[in-house]
Chain A
């Protein structure tokens, strides 16, 4: 048992470190370090532009999507090299936020299902950040139950005509392309009538409407499709096999190990270390310590769980299922952390602007946290996954499993 790099890993780390040292946008380092859930902001700069510039620079030197094959814009790095890169990239990795969906989910899906000439055309600019991608799965009628989606794709010659609505599409407003899950056959049970495509978000008939989120920001959108044409060559996988294609996407989401999920622990520990309460420093208070200790062991537990997965990768093995707990643990933890940080601030915890403690860092975290427990699979869905896939417990009874899609009820109380 050791944390040592192999000689090759050490050489790779040194190379990555040196390159990052010489090329990273250092002027933003402090702000990025201070950024946390709900607030990644750069004073006087457009974060999307800064992110794209950094990604492009990485791509030119061969550091973008480094685990992808060379011909698709990567450098064919091993999974462990990717992890080392993420460790060395440190706070600059927070700039990758806008690319997470494209790199983590759309890219791998394209790689598995797109035609070779499409891969060579679309993947390199995705890797380099010149083109941003989004994931058009969720709909008003299908979030957790994404197979309940209703957006129709109908064949017309060599094309497909798309009509319907997506929702919660992160980054649709600045995305160039998207992967789109549609219904191609409503007469069969829901999982059997889906088909996946990729499309140009600038296609006629695509309308993006930002959603005003509960925390006041607008990261996600509604996307409307009115007679949008997609050539059949942009179909991913077989007709009516979209469910299996989407599983590849979602599997990749869970397989991406690395930078780790934000828990809020470093922030709350730092805050308590500097805070004075009536009767002394917060960090010396028994009640505060008890809370901190509980979060400390969750954060370290997640960290070392990912180290176990990294070790498996490093040996060329597949990481075990233990990695699936990250978001479940971190999501509610960061929400609790934010709530407690405000509690320690007393009445002034109610302030959320520049007058607030730490300029409202924990208030922003509090308001963004509910989304974390929903996006990418809700807490409940994650528990179902652990119970069924890891512990082998029975799946839920599915009342709609064998029912043709167009006969499934669409409302609860009439």
Chain B
């Protein structure tokens, strides 16, 4: 058994950490937080130059052709640094959807642009309140024309193209759903930026009005493709969450060592020590679940649906837990704009929702386990 990343992969992680420490310090995250830019363009360019955007994209489509384990270690670092770039939308969602369902022409058109940083992509799935569900998809596709409203769409205001979930049939089944590729710069879409919990990653409303779009994957296969995309993105996002959780834990630990109250470091009070120990426990459980998810993702194992749900749940809990208690350890300082704690708290809670919330994945995990058990 070798349930660990390889030395090369660990080296890649170190390289990504170093790069991000330099190019994405908290100051850079704050620039986006404070609304000075919709995302960090310089960083995005840098990530492309490092080959990180296309790390899991095959060489024939302009990527590095490394693999998903490599993407996992980079994702962890992106989460740790709170990188304010459309990485998850573009790389975990749009690129994965293209890799699973795209025609050669579609892949050739978009994947090289993703790898080079020229194109930002996203997934337009949600239509208001609610979790991923075929029933909730109302946006219609008729003769290649999309009509309807998607919101929230992560990074929708800066994306060049979107994978859009649309209703193309009326049978009342999941097979009514098909996916489309919409060029967001080609007209027929009204885009409105929305305020959100975590301004370091934008959210938008996309109103499609007779927007011409081409099918992605076979008609009626939309929901099944989406399910796969969400599972794959769940693992990758879980790595971001674990990276964020670890960083929040470190921040809390460091502050506890430095801050003196009652004549001693607050890290010497058991109430604080035990809070930090519990943060370590949840981060560790999440990391281990993520490793299993990474294995399943990289080998396309039959266990992926379960492994992805477990990684997602565990990592969501860990990041939320570590981010909120990091603020607690910081006392009043944790509740200021100046301290970085709230940026992790915002990200932890925003990223908990994007691919379907905790309750959605809890339900999915047990449903998947039940099915496997019954089989």
Q: Are B4 and A289 in contact (CB under 8 A)?
A: no
Stretch with Cβ within 8 A of B (4 or more), from A2-10, A101-109, A156-164, A175-183: A2-10
Is there contact, CB below 8 Å, between A301 and B284? yes
Tell whether B129 is near chain A: CB-to-CB under 8 Å: no
Contact of A311 among B1, B292, B367, B369 (CB under 8 A): B1
Contact with B along A257-296 (1 / 0, CB 8 A): 0000000000001000100000000011010111011101
Instruction: State A206–B317 Cα separation when bound (angstroms).
Output: 51
CB contacts (< 8 Å) of A119 on chain B: these are none
Expressed in whole angstroms, the Cα–Cα distance for A222 and B277 within the complex equals 33
Q: How far is the CA of A298 from the CA of B314 in the complex (A)?
A: 8
- Once bound together, how far apart are the Cα atoms of A293 and B4, in whole Å? 25
Stretch of A140-148, A359-367, A386-394 with 4 or more beta carbons under 8 angstroms from chain B:
A386-394
Question: Which residue from A4, A301, A322 sits with its C-beta under 8 Å from B1?
Answer: A4
How many of A's residues come within 8 Å of B, CB to CB?
A: 53
B148 CB to nearest A CB, Å: 29
Contact string, B275-318, partner A, CB cutoff 8 A, digits 1/0? 01110110011111101101100110000000001100110010
Q: Mark A296-320, 1 if CB is under 8 A from B, else 0.
A: 1110111111011011101100000
Interface pair B5/A1, CB less than 8 Å apart: yes
B362 touches which of A290, A325, A391 (Cβ 8 Å): A290
Q: Shortest CB–CB separation between residue B119 and chain A, in angstroms? A: 30
Interface pairs (22), CB distance under 8 Å: A1-B291, A1-B295, A290-B359, A290-B363, A293-B309, A293-B362, A300-B314, A301-B286, A301-B310, A312-B4, A314-B2, A322-B284, A322-B287, A325-B280, A328-B281, A384-B270, A384-B274, A387-B276, A391-B249, A391-B280, A394-B257, A394-B264
Contacts of B6 in A (CB 8 A): 1
Assembled-state Cα–Cα distance A286/B287 (Å):
26
B292-A300 in contact (CB<8A) = yes
A302–B280 touching, CB < 8 Å? no
Contacts of B281 in A (CB 8 A): 325, 328-329, 386
> Across the interface, do A2 and B285 meet the contact criterion of CB distance under 8 Å?
no
For residue B366, which residues in chain A have a CB less than 8 angstroms away from its CB? 283, 288-289, 292-293, 296
B273 touches A384 (CB 8 A): yes
Check if B361 is an interface residue, CB within 8 A of chain A: yes
For the complex, what is the distance from the CA of A2 to the CA of B310, rounded to whole Å? 18
Q: From DSSP, what is the main secondary structure of chain A's interface residues?
A: helix
Q: When each residue 311-350 of chain A gets 1 if its CB lies under 8 Å from chain B and 0 otherwise, what string results?
A: 1101100000010010011000000000000000000000
Within 8 A of A (CB), among B220-263: 249, 253, 256-257
Chain A residues with Cβ below 8 Å from B289 are: 297, 300-301, 304
A289 and B285 contact, Cβ closer than 8 Å, known pairs A304-B291, A383-B274 = no
CB-contact partner of B288 in A273, A308, A394, under 8 A:
A308
Tell me the bound Cα distance from A322 to B246 in angstroms. 13
Given the complex, which residues of A lie within 8 Å of B270, measured CB to CB? 380, 383-384, 396
Alpha-carbon gap, A329 to B6, bound state (A): 28
Residue B146 at the chain A interface, CB threshold 8 Å: no
Whether B370 and A1, one on each chain, are in contact in the complex, defined by CB atoms closer than 8 angstroms, is no
Q: Please indicate the chain B residues that have their CB under 8 angstroms from the CB of A383 in the complex.
A: 270, 273-274, 277-278
Look across to chain B and name the residue whose beta carbon is closest to the beta carbon of A269: B369
A397 within 8 A of B: yes
Q: When chains A and B are docked, how far (Å) is the Cα of A307 from the Cα of B274?
A: 25
Pair B370/A273 contact, Cβ less than 8 Å: yes
C-alpha spacing A104/B288, complex, angstroms: 25
Q: Is the CB of B365 closer than 8 A to any CB of chain A?
A: yes
Q: Is the CB of B257 within 8 A of A325?
A: no
20 further A-B contacts with Cβ under 8 Å, apart from A288-B366, A394-B265, are: A1-B2, A1-B69, A1-B298, A2-B3, A3-B3, A289-B365, A289-B366, A297-B289, A298-B285, A300-B288, A300-B292, A302-B285, A302-B288, A303-B288, A308-B291, A311-B2, A314-B2, A393-B265, A393-B267, A396-B270
Please state if B361 and A293 are interface contacts (CB–CB under 8 Å). Answer: yes
**Chain A minimum-CB-distance residue to B289:** A301
